[in-house]
Structure 1
Amino acid sequence: MRYFFSKKRHLALPFLLFFATPSFSKAKVSKAAIGSIAEKKSLYNQLNLAALGLKQEIFEKALAGWDVLYCHQSLQKAGLLSIADMSQSSNSKRLYIIDMEKKIVLFNTYVAHGRNSGEEFAKSFANKANSFKSSLGFYITGDTYQGAHGLSLRLKGIEKGINDGAEQRGIVIHGAPYVSESFIKQCGRLGRSQGCPAVPQELCTPIVNHIKQGSCFYMYYPDKNYFKHTSMG
């Protein structure tokens, strides 16, 4: 399990939901550092994301949405970007948590999708209550609480009609015993959630403590309907 401690454009936003969050701190990341195509490719290579299984085009889509939130000062922790690549097998370490200031991958590990989104591979997504499906798009991390799964992190879906039901649905980041290599060996695939991006129990606390309270979380899948309606890049 990879676990690392070492460490434009302006778009129309007809589908964004904005949350009243007081006193956002100014972002420290230099916009110019990832402005051009060449610079984005350089950052992608520096992070060694190809070797970790994340395609460059997905990374750039995540950057585009992160950029929108950055420009609108919607992130308290603008230096962090989390990407859950749901196009990969659930047996792959498809969660990437990146420190954009230090330009290092902090965490690369497993993440579950909803039980009705698919078996080993996620294929179907929804924004409806009790669908038990994952929701695509961009989120802003919120506060933590102690729930049925222990430490949990609230997610605010910011894309109207796409993932804005996340809070009502109780979509959160939490640890789960079915997100483990032992479960994969036993069942042939990772376990599934009720729609939450669940992570390994032993990594839940450090992951949550890093990304809580105002960082960008992106859930990707090459869904034509999503890209038809998103305004995030």
Structure 2
Amino acid sequence: MRLSRRGLILGGSAMLAGCASARATPIVTAQAVSAPVTAPVPTPAIAAASLTPPPLDPRGRVRKELMERAMTALDTHHRHIPLRDRMYLVDFEKFSGDERLYEVDLEGGQVTVLRTCHGRGSDPAHSGYAQRFSNTPDSNMSSVGAYATAGASWGSQQGPNVLLDGLEYSNDKARERAIIIHGADYADPDFLAREGKLGRSYGCFSVAHADLPALRERMGQGRLLFAWA
């Protein structure tokens, strides 16, 4: 009996020691091993930067005053100019042989430059500089201000062209005066190379024949053309 009782006591002690060890050992679960993974959240600075549009005319090709006036006209005449992906500017302060017709990408900020003529009435001495402007029929002068492109057309005399609607008192007779954008021999590169300047129109924005097809397609209907000196 003593031996049996002693064995019972020893066995019980081992069982208690085993339970104590089990209670002291931490239980590791799958949830504890793998921490939840969350997607990185962009910081406000990065999010804001991604929404910032690129600067207009990063190379500074367009005269500052002309750009500012055009942007104001874009808002002033928004009812007539529904398309704001690009606009067209003409700087009549510049020499006719210089690139002074600008296509401004309002979404990407880039600027493409072309050449265009002014009216013979604006430059009677054919100096290459436009000096006077008028909205009067038969004046043969260029007109300044905001125009809305009115789409591609075809004329019996000038052929393919882009129609324009004048939006201001300084050019609202554009349709009556048939002021359009069309190709002309006197706006071609070989004329410029020979004469040192472009020829003169009757008030239209004449361009090189090679430039007209792409310009005619891209101008379309409902975009701004703004001319200033």
TM-score (norm 2): 0.72
Using the alignment, how far apart are the partners of 1:89 and 1:192 within structure 2? 12
- Do structure 1's residue 75 and structure 2's residue 81 form an aligned pair? yes
Code of the aligned partner of 2:96: S
1:198 pairs with 2:203: no
2: CA distance between counterparts of 1:112 and 1:193? 6
Match of 1:210 in 2: 218
- Is 2:183 the counterpart of 1:175? yes
Matched, 1:57 2:65: yes
Contact kept? 2:136, 2:173, Cα under 8 Å: yes
1:151 positional shift = 0.8
Q: 1:104 aligns with which of 110, 115, 121?
A: 110
Supply the AA of the counterpart residue of 1:153. Answer: V
Q: Which runs of structure 1 show a deviation greater than 3 angstroms over 4 or more consecutive aligned residues? A: none
Q: Whole-Å Cα distance in 2 between the matches of residues 102 and 150 of structure 1?
A: 32
TM-score normalized by the length of structure 1? 0.71
Give the corresponding residue for 1:153. 162
Structure 2 matches for 1:28-39, cutoff 5 A?
none
**Counterpart contact for 2:56–2:106, Cα < 8 Å:** no
SS of aligned partner of 2:65: helix
Rounded to whole Å, the distance in 2 between the matches of 1:169 and 1:191 is 19
Does the aligned pair in 2 maintain the 1:76–1:213 contact within 8 Å?
no
Instruction: Give the structure with the larger helix fraction.
Output: 2
Q: Which has the higher Rg, Structure 1 or Structure 2?
A: 2
In the alignment, the residues of structure 2 paired with residue 112 and residue 79 of structure 1 have an alpha-carbon distance, to the nearest angstrom, of: 25
C-alpha contact 1:141 1:214 (8 A) present in aligned 2? yes
How far is the alpha carbon of 1:206 from its aligned partner? Answer: 0.6
Alignment partner, residue 12 of structure 2: none
Task: Give the counterpart letter for 1:129 in structure 2.
Answer: P
Structure 1, unaligned runs of 5 or more? 1-31, 222-233
**Structure 2 counterpart of 1:89:** 95
1:62 is displaced (CA, Å) by 1.2
Which segments of 5 or more consecutive residues in structure 2 lack a partner in the other structure? 1-50
Counterparts of 1:200 and 1:95, CA distance in 2:
12
User: CA-to-partner distance for each residue in 1:80-102, whole Å, 9 max, x for gaps?
Assistant: 21000000000100000112122
Rounded to whole Å, the distance in 1 between the matches of 2:211 and 2:194 is 21
Q: Partners of 1:109 and 1:132 in 2: how far apart?
A: 22
Contact 1:110-1:180 at 8 Å conserved across structures = no
1:205 Cα deviation from its structure 2 partner: 1.1
- Which residue in 2 is equivalent to 1:20? none
CA contact under 8 A between 2:119 and 2:201: conserved in structure 1?
A: yes
Partner residue of 1:17? none
Give the match's secondary structure for 2:201: coil
How many residue pairs end up in the alignment? 175
